[in-house]
Amino acid sequence: MANRNLALVNGANGHLGYNLVKLLLSKNIPVRAAVRNIGNKDFMAGLDCEVVQSDITDKESLVKAFQDVETFYAVGASFKLWAKDPQKEIYDVNMQGARNIIEAAAQAGVKKIVYVSSIAALNYGTIPVRENDGYNPVRKDVYYNSKNDGEQLVFKLAKEHHVQLVAVLPSAMIGGEAFAPLNVSYNILKLILQKEIPVETNIAVNWIDVKDVAEGCYLAATKGVNGERYILANEKCTSIKDTTKIAQELFPELKIKLPAAVPKPVLFFIAWLMELGSKITGRAPLLSTKDIAMFSGLQQDFDLTKSRQELGFDPKDSSVAVKEAMQYLIQHQLVQLKRR
């Protein structure tokens, strides 16, 4: 039986997971924080919560972590856009995890799941994008495929196992407390501050403060309708160029230059060279041909009517979120500043 309104957050040592744990504790909700590597729990020092080990690919570890839990926040996933073996390291992990969390939750008697999906699972055929527009038909990216297919799988399994499930779909999370290595979204701001984005890609990002996403997860647990999905983002996206302008205004002493415009074929060639380098170094490329093909010119604008009306979701303006996140990176020395 579920006990004391106990909430379980997995992926608790990640960007969203950690900020969500802190939010729930501030609301006097008892929290059990699950991490894949139990040796990596120093970050929880000073927080009044239980820390346990579990891995979404290990169903038995999930069943143990789920004991006495009423609400499960399914945050943990393989969140990366590049890997040496993307099928094995990203897709298979996220799909196996999706199946395991529902089956283990049903076995342990968990009452409600808030499943953290992604705006990657939305259909961008019509702008602004809405939840009921369906799933992303573009199958060029393994991470995107895992979020598309994973979300559909958890809804199907939750219905079969009679578990209440609500999905939330966050955009690019920044702000809040963060640790190195930074997540994909925060890292873009780091690259801007370090003057490492030299060319204009015509890519826009929908920035959202991670604390607003954490609040949205809690609102989904308390107000969300079973079987529904909710976008947790801002209405408008911001180009990398305009994000760079914010950095220029905020830190004029850094003398950050705007990225230079280049023809699209040149952009593809630059990305191809970076991918070639990645095969040698084993590190993710700064830019890939897939990034250009999928995101250059894409407007990630959303209709938040459903999230605002049903959840009361009210995020801070994206420009404010960007400014606060950049200041956090500077203050906590998470960037290597180049003042020339």
pLDDT at 2: 44
Give the CATH number of the domain where residue 144 resides.
3.40.50.720
In a domain, 286, yes or no: no
Which of residues 169 and 41 earns the better pLDDT score? 169
In a domain, 97, yes or no: yes
For residue 81, name the pLDDT band (cuts at 50, 70, 90): low
Environment class of residue 109 by beta-carbon count within 10 Å: exposed (0-12), middle (13-18) or buried (19+)?
Answer: middle
In a domain, 257, yes or no: no
Q: What is the CA radius of gyration of the chain?
A: 20
Given a contact cutoff of 8 angstroms between Cβ atoms, the answer to whether 54 and 71 are in contact is no
The residue with tokens 């015509």 is 202
Average pLDDT, rounded, for the chain: 91
pLDDT at 133: 93
Residue 7 has pLDDT above 50, yes or no: yes
Environment class of residue 42 by beta-carbon count within 10 Å: exposed (0-12), middle (13-18) or buried (19+)?
Answer: exposed
Given a contact cutoff of 8 angstroms between Cβ atoms, the answer to whether 157 and 102 are in contact is yes
* Percent over 70 (pLDDT), the chain: 96
In a domain, 228, yes or no: yes
Q: What is the domain count for the chain?
A: 1
Give the HSE-up count for residue 234: Cα atoms under 13 Å, Cβ half-sphere.
22
* All residues at 6 or more sequence positions from 188 whose CB lies less than 8 Å from its CB, including other chains: 172, 197, 205, 240, 243
Q: 229 forms bridges with which residues in the sheet?
A: 167
In a domain, 89, yes or no: yes
pLDDT at 85: 82
Which ranges constitute the DSSP H helices of 115-238?
Answer: 142-161, 184-193, 210-223
Structural domain that includes position 221: 7-179+206-237+302-316
Question: pLDDT digit string (tens) for 278-301?
Answer: 888 888 888 888 788 878 888 999
Phi, psi for 302 (deg, rounded to 5):
-130, 150
Residue 1 has pLDDT above 50, yes or no: no
How confident is the model over 55-61, as a mean pLDDT?
90
- For 179, left (φ over 0), alpha (ψ -120 to 50), or beta? beta
In a domain, 30, yes or no: yes
**pTM: predicted TM-score of the whole model, two decimal places:** 0.93
pLDDT at 4: 63
For residue 41, name the pLDDT band (cuts at 50, 70, 90): low
Q: How far apart are CA 131 and CA 110, in angstroms?
A: 26
Which ranges constitute the DSSP H helices of the chain?
Answer: 15-26, 59-65, 86, 93-108, 142-161, 184-193, 210-223, 240-250, 264-281, 289-295, 305-306, 318-331
In a domain, 21, yes or no: yes
In a domain, 105, yes or no: yes
Report the DSSP pairing between strands 204-205 and 50-53: unpaired
Please choose, from the candidates 216, 107, 215, 103, the residue with its C-alpha nearest in 3D space to the C-alpha of residue 167.
Answer: 216
